[in-house]
Amino acid sequence: MNSRVSRTTGIDYPLIVVTLLLSAFGVAMVYSSGQTDVPAARLATLWQKQLVWLTLALVVAWVVSKASVRLIEWSAWPFYALAVSLLTVTLLFGSGAGTAESMKGWLTIGGTRLGQPSELAKVAVVLMLAKVLTGMRNTPRSLLDLWQPLLVVAVPWLLIMAQPDLGTGLVFVGICFVMLFWFGVPWPLLVMLASPGISLVLAFSTGVWGAWFLILLALVFWYRPYLVEGVILVVVNVVTGVVAPLIWDRMPAYSQRRLLVFLDPSYDPRNAGYQVMQSQYAIGSGGITGKGFTLGTQKRLGFLPEHETDFIFAVVGEELGFIGVSVALALFLALFFRCTRVAQRGSEAFGGLVAIGLAAGWFVHVVVNVGMTLNLMPITGIPLPFFSYGGSFLLMCWLSVAILLRISAEGRGQADGLGL
Amino acid sequence: MTYHPNEVARRARAARTVVALVIAALGLGFFRAQVLRSTEYAMQVDGQRLREVPLVAPRGIIYDRNGEIIAENLPGYTVSLLSPSADSLNAALDALSKVIPIDETQRNLVMRRFERARNRPAVIFNDASFDVVSALEERRVQFPSLIIENSPKRYYPDGEAIAAIIGYTSEISEEELRLPKFDSTYKAGQHIGKSGLEREYESRLRGIEGSRFVEVDARGRVVRDQGVRADIAPQPPAAIRSTLDLDLQRFIHETYGDSLRGAVVALDPETGGVLALYSGPTFDANRFTGGIPAGYFKQLLEDPARPLYNKAIQGRYEPASTWKLATSIIGMEQGLVEINTHMQVPCTGGYQFGSRRFKCWKPEGHGNVNLAQAIANSCDVYFYQLGLKIGLTNLVAGGLRLGFGERTGIDLPYEERSSFPDSNVTAYYNSKYGARGWTNAVVLNLSIGQGENAQTVINMARFYTALATDGAAAPPHLIETAVERKQLFSLKPEQLAALRSAMADVVSGRGTAGSAALQGIVVAGKTGTAQNPPNPDHAWFVGFAPYEKPQIVVAVFLEYGLHGYAAARIATKVMERYLNVSLVNASASTAAQ
Mean pLDDT for B528-554 is 93
Looking at residue B156, its pLDDT comes to 96
Q: In the prediction, which pLDDT does A10 show? A: 76
Q: Give residue limits of the domains in chain A.
A: 13-196+273-418
User: Which one of A279, A281, A326, A368 would you mutate to disrupt binding with B, by most B Cβ within 10 Å of its Cβ?
Assistant: A281
**Chain B environment of A302 (Cβ under 8 Å):** 217-219
Please count the residue pairs, one from chain A and one from chain B, whose beta carbons lie less than 8 angstroms apart.
138
Q: What are the backbone dihedrals phi and psi of residue B334, each rounded to the nearest 5 degrees, phi first?
A: -90, 5
In whole numbers, what is the pLDDT of chain B averaged over residues? 91
Q: What is the pLDDT of residue A97?
A: 56
pLDDT band per the 50, 70, 90 thresholds, residue B330? very high
Residues of A in contact with B48 (CB under 8 A): 281, 303
Query: How far from each other are the two terminal CA atoms of chain A, in whole angstroms?
Result: 7
Contact by Cβ (8 Å): A44, A34:
yes
- Please report the domains of chain B, with CATH numbers, ordered by start residue: 50-241 (3.90.1310.10), 246-592 (3.40.710.10)
B148 forms beta bridges with B79
Cβ–Cβ below 8 Å for B12 and A344: yes
Question: Which range (B180-184, B208-212, B399-403, B415-419) has the least confidence?
Answer: B180-184
Instruction: State yes or no: ipTM above 0.90.
Output: yes
Distance from first CA to last CA of chain B, Å, rounded? 109
Position A415 pLDDT exceeds 50: no
Q: Among A333, A338, A358, A363, pick the best mutation site for testing chain B contact (most B Cβ within 10 A).
A: A333
Top-confidence residue, B119 or A17: A17
Contact residues, chain B, for A420 at CB < 8 Å? 5
Cα of A52 vs its chain's centroid, Å:
24
Q: Tell me what the pLDDT averaged over chain A comes to.
A: 86
Residue B193 has pLDDT above 90, yes or no: yes
Q: Residue B286 carries which DSSP code?
A: G
Nearest CA in chain A to B5: A347
CB atoms within 10 A of CB B166: 28
Cross-chain residue pair B45–A281, CB shorter than 8 Å: yes
Q: How far apart are CA A111 and CA A391, in angstroms?
A: 16
B11, A287: Cβ pair inside 8 Å? no
B36 close to A (CB below 8 A): no
Does the CB of A271 have a partner CB in chain B at under 8 Å?
no
Q: Kindly determine whether residue A374 and residue B33, on different chains, have CB atoms separated by under 8 Å.
A: yes
Among A12, A24, A58, smallest CA distance to A386 is for A24
* This model's pTM is above 0.90: no
- Label residue B165 exposed, middle or buried (CB < 10 Å: 0-12, 13-18, 19+): buried
Q: Could you give the CA distance from residue B117 to residue B125 in angstroms, rounded to a whole number?
A: 16
Higher pLDDT, A111 or B218: B218
pLDDT in tens, B387-433: 999 999 999 999 999 999 999 999 999 999 999 999 999 999 999 99
Bond preceding residue B546 cis, omega within 30 of 0: yes
Q: Which of A231-235, B179-183, B392-396, B432-436 ranks highest by mean pLDDT?
A: B392-396
% helix / strand / coil in chain B, to the nearest 5? 40, 20, 40
Q: Does B40 touch chain A (CB under 8 A)?
A: yes
Query: Is the pLDDT assigned to residue A417 strictly greater than 50?
Result: no
> How many angstroms from the chain centroid is the CA of residue B580?
28
Scan residues 198-227 of B and list those with Cβ closer than 8 Å to A. 215-219, 221, 223-224
What is the enclosing helix (H) or strand (E) of B260? none
**Whether residue A198 has pLDDT greater than 90:** no
